[in-house]
Structure 1
């Protein structure tokens, strides 16, 4: 006798084939038409006839396979609406098949994705295909198996058939259940193999159905620690105000503006506890999810079921979480940008922690900002949104000033601990720094003092690699990527010169590729060079580097930070991944190695980002009984962003920067549409950009009583990227609708500009 364990693959659909026939379209006035959109850069939708065999199962949000294009190739699309009214077409193609038993998105998500397509100027199909994870579309982690049940009218057939003892056991097992039974389970309970089951199906006693079954489950259970933390007066006031909004059913947005270490996460948790008591779910967005294990740990301790969505999940894990969330089995969804699309049927609250982070903006189509998508989702659902930050974006801060959103302030750290003193170190007055060292005299003294007091140190440098430039003394040229308009970065450990834009790499050159002369200089410092210097200066002291070169393995972030938490590492250094979300009471010194890295970028937000980085990394110290301090090395000590950050004075910085932006006509007082064109022939790209500009001007730039301003066309700051020449246009106007209409007016010429590729970005974050 064969057991089911010995033959796990016996019950796949291929083993017991079923005959299928094409759907027939009956010529009738009672037809059903499906509106279908595709993952293609076109705004148009298409209508298809729904075959009679699919009418009971197709729903808006379902994926379908349909003939598309002149070659009638079967293509996947998304059904977005159904109608019995005949659309204004002559001929209709028929839907070939339905790809999902149940729709992958509900009506609310269809509304949200349509808004995204209109707001961010891309097709509805592109948005739908982007928001549904690949693992969900491929049904990862499941396999299609045959399930069996007794056929209708089987009793009548039994009166004329004689069953063997084994066949009778199968019938008795199926009589004991009302649901179809998996083949492996059925043969195990009936103590038989596949043959008698096939015989019963041939005789019409049993029928089979294809059902997808999970290969394994993914648990989202938390620890459910109910121990209470005492709130201070400001925290209690913030919690009370948001809960009032929850109870009223209003869609209100709150800016939780709190200095670093003021207890914003505890406010989130208390409000979410109330949401869960209502039987509803919460979405919490955090930047770079793999870098915030402390936050995740706190949520898992306080809630019974937490789903954590991040880039290191396998497709099967992501699919499992998606299904659990959709069934309402998850109380809290914690994730990065795309978690805003989690299919929570009972959504009661959305939280965006560190709302100022640029990672909330997607840099590929659809180029949405998760913060703005969240605002739209909560408006549609009638629920609150909390935006938390110690350094809010000026866009959000201005909304608070204008009373468009409610500002809840946490001006003090928990336990009344003071913010750390910040000392600005002028690198122009330090000879060792002038000679190429990373650590100045003041920094070395402060590090020795911190280590002597058994404290820990965080050093921040937002440049990875050993040296960001290889420079020739003879001809004055740097070693550049042949495919991109950027310099190669020297990585000493890997012994390569690497392009950080396209991953092109070569062995470190011994002579200049331009003039052939030897003696290249390695200019500047990155985290790898800083690590070498720290280890040389402090032999025997444990040092850990965190950047994208060292944190590539699954779980590496959590392991690294846990070793720092346990005191196994005394000095932690790295890029911006160590500048946020970390709470280590024993950190007594934070050193900003080069505060000017982001200050001189060709971007009107350069000052804002510099302030945010310094303020955020400074907030990593002074959280324990030992206190702490911050040293900021800079060649621009008089820059307002650096001075205000040293004073922990966000309000003064925001006031000064907003005045500057208003004078120059920059966001948040206007919105910007950036149009990027790229192609292999520079003249073609420039010509295409000029044609778009002329097209917009011919349509009229005065809209809504104000003139839209066009800058360009001009080469992008990175004029060549991955072998493509790049040009840009920047159009500004107070209204995003006006910018969208300007683009739609000229979009019809885009196909004529092939092979030049065009992308549009509303409210761009990056201008490279």
Structure 2
């Protein structure tokens, strides 16, 4: 901190400590990078006048301030403005106000401060994540000079004895206008060139002001309006409970547990319609992969003003949506994780659909979970939060069991359609796998033939992209690995390259073993590219499409493929988990899970939960029409409790078993957890740093004296090397989340890792790799 700066949390100076204390307007500023702050700055009178709104320094705007001994200009967020008795000589002054309007409301500032405290992240970093880059850069706008007549302009014109009729006409046109005009607008209206206007400006008869305006936007697409559907008894009861919560004016968490196809979305829609009657807004969070044409169409067919926020938006589009939301012009905001920060002035409801999805947890700082941030926001604004899923996260389920949240069930599909029959195919049985050398077993092949000949459509799930998942030498055991990660490279046949799916490193696939020179190099494992090739060779008379990260890179590619599948332009859709949820295609009569075990044995305590959710969700993509449907799950572990429960569509049974395992192992949701990862380029240095940090953490926990708190590790991370860095990790577990966070703060105090070594703390981790 610069020597002449005072921290926001420093004690006020005693009267004898300063010579000339005076009452001044002081702004507290947080920087997006560097020292945490906040830092205090004097607000000059020119920036403290509300009569000049565009130059007014207030909380929620960004300010330009001098920082450090060199007084370099930096941009920071103003988080508070107050009158304080200070020694003005000890504080620097604000240089300028960056934003013409407030970016962050008082409520949003409080929310971001909570996030900074809870997720052990600098406040400035949280603020930078909450305000989109397009908003910070005012994307899609440009500076325009607006003209207004000066006071007594016409009299001054006569006094100056100006004789140009064009100037007179231009001035009279501007005087007659009910709004400021741009130079081109005035020239066109007065039918004159720019020269007469510039002359009037030079003589002081016309005043100019610069403002930012949007550069334009496309016309809104018109959607055919739909009327609300009629509820079945379960939906009606669920809606009544939600409406009671909405009318109560209190914060309430609701877990809406509905089987796939039970009509959860219709309940959301009618709850939002109830909110919109009172001119309030709703935020609906969905996984990024669920922002399908179907989802968007359903909302836009019911509401006139819908903003859809997703990763494919340009900065200009995101800025345009942000401004529309902030002005209260939008009824419903549908978006992925970051939409939880939408600047709604009249928020009435938050819905998180498929709340169990891992994409709601941010994997970079600030490492927040949208569900927990949404609950904080719901409590602050006294509104309900609905968490909807056919396979709720165990965290949400336990909160419902303990009475913190209300649980509402939709146990049946709409129109009483039956849940699909699910059967497992045991890939340990040679009779099932002798059918060729491909990924599709005999039972699945026969089921596909039957479904396709009957005019139905087929979905195949394989949560592994690429062609071959590894390249190995059978002679010496060599595996081609990434130069920067401790991971096998995946062969992508389309571009004939071996690719790392973590750091995107590419290498040419070898023709012979680099170690023993054996030419018998083998491409093993099955990815979606190889599966696509197998499907096309087995079913040449039917069209097939693949959805994975490799094929969905272009803007609008999701929409194009899914719309074509809905129209019946192709009969087989295969892909990774992006096809496993949020899709409603009545003509799909068969779903095949190529390998249900891909995530089952990962070193992650949530592995069983994720496997159950994936299988149960993809099974729900069929049987949604009158033709019914069936599901075949290929697995090497048909007796695993997660797979057995998914086959029976029995979430309560799965939850009961898995929660018993978690309770015995002292894992979430029964204890809090923080994961600390230390990484750097030199393995020995990283290991030693992790051991030192582990010792500090253990000492902090011992000093706290809270029972059943522990530090596990340090140990080598499951992915021991990633993007060139060696990795070690520790786990802090205990019943008191606040005490765990305080232990990390205590351990970090005065701790400086060696050069090149970095460490991070992940509160409530969802990725244990």
TM-score by length of 2: 0.94
Q: Relative to structure 2, which stretch is displaced further, 591-600 or 679-688?
A: 679-688
Paired with 1:689 and 1:72, the residues of 2 have a C-alpha distance of: 37
Q: Hey, what does 2:161 align to over in structure 1?
A: 162
Alpha-carbon deviation of 1:59? 1.0
Q: Hey, what does 2:573 align to over in structure 1?
A: 572
The answer to whether the aligner puts 1:307 opposite 2:311 as a matched pair is no
Deviations 1:116-136 (A, max 9, x none): 111101111101111111111
Unaligned ranges ≥5, structure 1: 1-26
Q: Hey, what does 1:683 align to over in structure 2?
A: 684
Alpha-carbon deviation of 1:84? 1.7
Q: Hey, what does 2:26 align to over in structure 1?
A: 33
Please tell me whether the aligned partners of residues 283 and 339 of structure 1 are also in contact (alpha carbons under 8 angstroms): yes
Name the CA shift for 1:89/1:400 in 2 (closer, same or farther; >3 Å): farther
Alpha-carbon deviation of 1:222? 5.7
Name the CA shift for 1:89/1:158 in 2 (closer, same or farther; >3 Å): closer
Q: Hey, what does 1:350 align to over in structure 2?
A: 350
Name the CA shift for 1:218/1:744 in 2 (closer, same or farther; >3 Å): farther
Q: Relative to structure 2, which stretch is displaced further, 475-484 or 408-417?
A: 475-484
Paired with 2:485 and 2:599, the residues of 1 have a C-alpha distance of: 20
Paired with 1:289 and 1:208, the residues of 2 have a C-alpha distance of: 48
Name the CA shift for 1:353/1:88 in 2 (closer, same or farther; >3 Å): farther
Alpha-carbon deviation of 1:702? 6.2
Name the CA shift for 1:184/1:734 in 2 (closer, same or farther; >3 Å): farther
Paired with 1:289 and 1:63, the residues of 2 have a C-alpha distance of: 33
Q: Relative to structure 2, which stretch is displaced further, 613-622 or 101-110?
A: 101-110
Q: Hey, what does 2:511 align to over in structure 1?
A: 510
The answer to whether the aligner puts 1:417 opposite 2:396 as a matched pair is no
Q: Hey, what does 2:97 align to over in structure 1?
A: 98
3-state DSSP of counterpart to 1:473: coil
Alpha-carbon deviation of 1:423? 0.5
Name the CA shift for 1:239/1:755 in 2 (closer, same or farther; >3 Å): same
Deviations 1:215-251 (A, max 9, x none): 1125556636142311101111111111111111011
Q: Relative to structure 2, which stretch is displaced further, 599-608 or 173-182?
A: 173-182
3-state DSSP of counterpart to 1:85: strand
The answer to whether the aligner puts 1:197 opposite 2:190 as a matched pair is no
Please tell me whether the aligned partners of residues 459 and 574 of structure 2 are also in contact (alpha carbons under 8 angstroms): yes
Q: Hey, what does 2:129 align to over in structure 1?
A: 130
Q: Hey, what does 1:22 align to over in structure 2?
A: none
Name the CA shift for 1:702/1:406 in 2 (closer, same or farther; >3 Å): farther
Where does 1:303-342 land on structure 2 (aligned, <5 Å)?
Answer: 303-342=303-342
Q: Hey, what does 2:259 align to over in structure 1?
A: 259
3-state DSSP of counterpart to 2:639: coil
Name the CA shift for 1:385/1:704 in 2 (closer, same or farther; >3 Å): farther
Please tell me whether the aligned partners of residues 421 and 631 of structure 2 are also in contact (alpha carbons under 8 angstroms): yes
Paired with 1:303 and 1:87, the residues of 2 have a C-alpha distance of: 52
Q: Hey, what does 1:9 align to over in structure 2?
A: none
Deviations 1:190-231 (A, max 9, x none): 112222222111211111101111111255566361423111
Where does 1:494-505 land on structure 2 (aligned, <5 Å)?
Answer: 494-505=495-506
Name the CA shift for 1:358/1:667 in 2 (closer, same or farther; >3 Å): same
Alpha-carbon deviation of 1:433? 3.5
Alpha-carbon deviation of 1:755? 2.5
Please tell me whether the aligned partners of residues 62 and 75 of structure 2 are also in contact (alpha carbons under 8 angstroms): yes
Where does 1:402-551 land on structure 2 (aligned, <5 Å)?
Answer: 402-430=402-430, 433=433, 436-551=437-552
Alpha-carbon deviation of 1:89? 9.2
Alpha-carbon deviation of 1:53? 1.5
3-state DSSP of counterpart to 2:749: helix
Alpha-carbon deviation of 1:517? 2.5
Paired with 1:39 and 1:764, the residues of 2 have a C-alpha distance of: 24
Unaligned ranges ≥5, structure 2: 1-19, 50-55
Deviations 1:710-768 (A, max 9, x none): 11111211111111111111101122211110111022234354431111110111111
Name the CA shift for 1:290/1:134 in 2 (closer, same or farther; >3 Å): farther
Where does 1:620-659 land on structure 2 (aligned, <5 Å)?
Answer: 620-659=621-660
Paired with 2:430 and 2:96, the residues of 1 have a C-alpha distance of: 72
Name the CA shift for 1:30/1:224 in 2 (closer, same or farther; >3 Å): farther
3-state DSSP of counterpart to 1:102: coil
Alpha-carbon deviation of 1:474? 1.7
Alpha-carbon deviation of 1:41? 5.8
Deviations 1:83-126 (A, max 9, x none): 22146897222211111111111111111111111110111110
Name the CA shift for 1:425/1:219 in 2 (closer, same or farther; >3 Å): same
Paired with 1:701 and 1:389, the residues of 2 have a C-alpha distance of: 40
Paired with 1:59 and 1:575, the residues of 2 have a C-alpha distance of: 48
Q: Hey, what does 2:228 align to over in structure 1?
A: 228
Where does 1:63-142 land on structure 2 (aligned, <5 Å)?
Answer: 63-86=62-85, 91-142=90-141
Paired with 2:501 and 2:664, the residues of 1 have a C-alpha distance of: 35
Q: Relative to structure 2, which stretch is displaced further, 220-229 or 689-698?
A: 220-229
Name the CA shift for 1:413/1:702 in 2 (closer, same or farther; >3 Å): farther
Paired with 1:702 and 1:545, the residues of 2 have a C-alpha distance of: 56
Q: Relative to structure 2, which stretch is displaced further, 334-343 or 515-524?
A: 515-524
Deviations 1:16-54 (A, max 9, x none): xxxxxxxxxxx9934211111111264331111112221
Name the CA shift for 1:42/1:236 in 2 (closer, same or farther; >3 Å): farther
Q: Relative to structure 2, which stretch is displaced further, 427-436 or 322-331?
A: 427-436
Deviations 1:338-391 (A, max 9, x none): 000011101110000000000000000100000000000010001111110000
Paired with 1:709 and 1:93, the residues of 2 have a C-alpha distance of: 46
Alpha-carbon deviation of 1:155? 4.7
3-state DSSP of counterpart to 1:749: coil
Paired with 1:289 and 1:394, the residues of 2 have a C-alpha distance of: 22
Please tell me whether the aligned partners of residues 154 and 171 of structure 2 are also in contact (alpha carbons under 8 angstroms): no
3-state DSSP of counterpart to 1:463: coil
Paired with 1:713 and 1:28, the residues of 2 have a C-alpha distance of: 52
Please tell me whether the aligned partners of residues 222 and 305 of structure 1 are also in contact (alpha carbons under 8 angstroms): no
Paired with 1:428 and 1:177, the residues of 2 have a C-alpha distance of: 82
Paired with 2:737 and 2:89, the residues of 1 have a C-alpha distance of: 37
Alpha-carbon deviation of 1:430? 3.4
Q: Hey, what does 1:552 align to over in structure 2?
A: 553
3-state DSSP of counterpart to 1:767: coil
Name the CA shift for 1:678/1:565 in 2 (closer, same or farther; >3 Å): same
Paired with 1:115 and 1:585, the residues of 2 have a C-alpha distance of: 44
Please tell me whether the aligned partners of residues 220 and 305 of structure 1 are also in contact (alpha carbons under 8 angstroms): no
The answer to whether the aligner puts 1:697 opposite 2:698 as a matched pair is yes
Please tell me whether the aligned partners of residues 65 and 97 of structure 1 are also in contact (alpha carbons under 8 angstroms): yes
Name the CA shift for 1:756/1:280 in 2 (closer, same or farther; >3 Å): same
Where does 1:730-749 land on structure 2 (aligned, <5 Å)?
Answer: 730-749=731-750
Paired with 1:103 and 1:647, the residues of 2 have a C-alpha distance of: 52
Alpha-carbon deviation of 1:703? 4.1
Paired with 1:538 and 1:301, the residues of 2 have a C-alpha distance of: 37
Please tell me whether the aligned partners of residues 117 and 123 of structure 1 are also in contact (alpha carbons under 8 angstroms): yes
Name the CA shift for 1:709/1:384 in 2 (closer, same or farther; >3 Å): same
How many residue pairs align between the two structures? 742
Alpha-carbon deviation of 1:687? 1.5
TM-score by length of 1: 0.94
Name the CA shift for 1:464/1:700 in 2 (closer, same or farther; >3 Å): closer
Paired with 1:107 and 1:219, the residues of 2 have a C-alpha distance of: 33
